A = this chain, B = another copy of it.
């Protein structure tokens, strides 16, 4: 099994056939990887946070949990999970986000810009990119006040999360560009296809 590397602050996209496994690995620890998915045979069907959280009746997803599409079809199942803490609430970081939340005057294009470029060859346009499943992202939630707080990931070097595809998919995957998400240590992400 080959390990491929996504360099810091970049992204990639690939086809994952039904039954294939994708393992996302944090090679150095405390890094985040935004994952989006589309039906490879009809890219108008997309990974949906809203459907998935509704069917799971929880916002923390881990081993055994299924990620659903906007059409309520099972897309991915988490088969194995070393980390157990991921986010499915927040949109990918983007140049607008870096301007608004970080005050950057020459903002990076972020995971969003990286996904746009990686997904374009599959005919997916920027407005189709949904809220990502943010692998290893640690968003603490205060159920009383509603506060969301982005904390360093709990992932340690070499830990990973394995997804099995439940339909033919186009998957977009990044090594996250947002300092708050990865404790201001921009690192690569590794992945394996099986």
> Quick check: B59 and A127 within 8 Å, CB to CB?
no
In the bound complex, residues from chain B placing their C-beta under 8 Å from that of A132 are: 50
CB distance from A74 to the nearest CB of B (A): 11
**Count of this chain's copies in the oligomeric assembly:** 2
CB distance from A148 to the nearest CB of B (A): 5
> Quick check: A50 and B127 within 8 Å, CB to CB?
no
A30: CB under 8 A from chain B?
no
A122: CB under 8 A from chain B?
no
In the bound complex, residues from chain B placing their C-beta under 8 Å from that of A157 are: none
Contact among B51, B56, B127, B140 for A143, CB-based, below 8 A:
B140
A interface residue numbers (CB < 8 A to B): 44-46, 48-51, 53-60, 70-72, 89-92, 94, 96-97, 100-101, 125, 127, 129-132, 140-149
